[in-house]
Amino acid sequence: MDMWRISGYAGGVRGRVPMARPKHADTRYLELKNGKYRVTVAVPRALQGKLGTKLKRPLNTDSRATANTLKWAVIAELKAIIDRAGRDVPQGDHLTREALELATHRVTIRDDQELAQLDEEIVRRAEEMLGDPVATETDPDTGGPVYIYDAGRESAAGLFAAMASGRATPIECHHGDFLAQSLTKARTKSDDRRAIAFLSA
């Protein structure tokens, strides 16, 4: 239920104007379980046989304010899983969707601390994608270990972090929207798609 305040009289009728809900009071996508918050995202009915009725992920915090900061990265990940299940898209597309949802949310944040916490979550998610080192070498200057990671995972994790933080956008990301609004002929649109595919490759 929204919070209200009396705004006085307008034309003889008392009006009510909705007050902004404090960030710490936001409970969207949150559920309290055994004193700790977790994220829950509803699964569309058509996919419930495959994924269940809800996707859930613990946040391991009893602070609602902290949960509200941490939840967005998890929401993006879970929604990308649902999207991938619905469209049966490749893993790369699934991660791109997740990264772009994070980037979209990131530009709406005005609080520096919340932004820093979201960036930490992006780094954590990228490190999770990176996985364990596949080899270790010795730094000739310091004598310390240098960890070598799978090249494919390292490339994917770096691209994910760049997209999620708004430093990179896939060239084809907004192309579909552009074509939908374009008044050019179908043949020109086909040429355009082939050019983008060539450039992407």
Q: How far apart are CA 174 and CA 178, in angstroms?
A: 6
Q: Kindly state whether residue 180 falls inside one of the protein's structural domains.
A: no
3-state secondary structure of 131: coil
Q: Kindly state whether residue 14 falls inside one of the protein's structural domains.
A: no
CA dihedral 138, 141, 144, 149 (to 10 degrees): -50
Q: Kindly state whether residue 199 falls inside one of the protein's structural domains.
A: no
pLDDT tens digits, 26-38? 788 999 999 999 9
Q: Kindly state whether residue 89 falls inside one of the protein's structural domains.
A: yes
Q: Kindly state whether residue 194 falls inside one of the protein's structural domains.
A: no
pLDDT tens digits, 91-112? 556 788 888 888 888 888 888 8
Q: How far apart are CA 38 and CA 78, in angstroms?
A: 12
pLDDT at 24: 56
Q: How far apart are CA 27 and CA 144, in angstroms?
A: 46
Q: How far apart are CA 52 and CA 198, in angstroms?
A: 39
Q: Kindly state whether residue 77 falls inside one of the protein's structural domains.
A: yes
Q: Kindly state whether residue 184 falls inside one of the protein's structural domains.
A: no
List 137's β-bridge partners, or say none.
Answer: 146
The DSSP string of 46-110 is: GGHHHH-SEEEEE---S-HHHHHHHHHHHHHHHHHHHHHHHHT--HHHHHHHHHHHHHHHHTT--
pLDDT in single tens digits along all 201 residues of the chain: 343 332 333 344 444 444 445 555 678 899 999 999 999 999 888 788 888 899 999 998 999 988 988 888 888 888 888 887 776 555 556 788 888 888 888 888 888 888 898 899 899 999 988 888 888 888 888 888 888 888 888 988 998 999 999 888 777 666 777 777 778 788 887 787 788 777 766
143 lies in which domain range?
28-170
Q: Kindly state whether residue 146 falls inside one of the protein's structural domains.
A: yes
Are the CB atoms for 96 and 170 separated by under 8 Å?
yes
Model pTM score: 0.51
- Largest interatomic CA distance in the chain: 81
Domain count, the chain: 1
pLDDT at 5: 36
Nearest to 26 by CA among 78, 81, 67: 67
Q: DSSP code of 167? A: S
In what helix (H) or strand (E) does residue 152 lie, and over which residues does it extend?
helix 151-164
